[in-house]
Copies of this chain bind each other. A is one copy, B any other.
Amino acid sequence: MTSMPPGERIGSHVKRAEQALLAAKNAALKPAAVTVPQYAALLWLSEKPGISAAALARLCGVTPPTMNTVLKNLQERGLIERTPHEWHRNVLETRLTEEGRAAMELADAGAVRVERALAAAFSAQEREQLIGLLGRCAEVLDAQR
């Protein structure tokens, strides 16, 4: 005896869309050989060179240990470099390497292609509606916690 059928659960529709999004982006990112979280980090790094890992984690919406994992993999592949901060000796400044920038640009092309295809499925009004409704979802759910 379940109190709520799956189809009525808004959450299941959100999850479904997110899954499809992740699958599409992963496919689009394959030529660049980066994952979705790696692409997100590279993209923000290109806009904020020298940012700290913690700040980058906040921008990407993940926890610092998670970002640490992602950065570790990016560093091993030579896409980023991390150097000690001038004053705050505890802070590491993270920057794209040349390779990293190239990977970011290749990845960005794929990601934007997906976003454009997604946006093209809606009218301007529908896009605004969708974004507004999703914003309220996040708001309510964050408050719930």
Interface, chain A (partner B; CB < 8 A): 2-4, 8-11, 13-21, 23-25, 27-28, 43, 46-47, 61, 108-109, 112, 114-119, 121-122, 126-127, 129-131, 133-142, 144-145
Contact = CB atoms under 8 A, between A and B. Distances in A.
Contacts of A46: 2
Contacts of A136: 121-122
B138 A133 contact: no
B112 A4 contact: yes
7 contacts: A8-B119, A11-B25, A14-B21, A20-B137, A114-B141, A130-B133, A130-B137
Contacts of A116: 4
Nearest to A116: B4
A2 B47 contact: yes
B114 A17 contact: no
Contacts of A127: 10
Contact of A131 (B3, B13, B27, B61): B13
B140 A10 contact: no
Given A16-B61, A17-B138, A121-B139, 14 more contacts: A8-B119, A11-B114, A13-B130, A13-B135, A15-B18, A17-B134, A17-B135, A20-B137, A117-B144, A118-B140, A121-B137, A122-B133, A129-B133, A130-B134
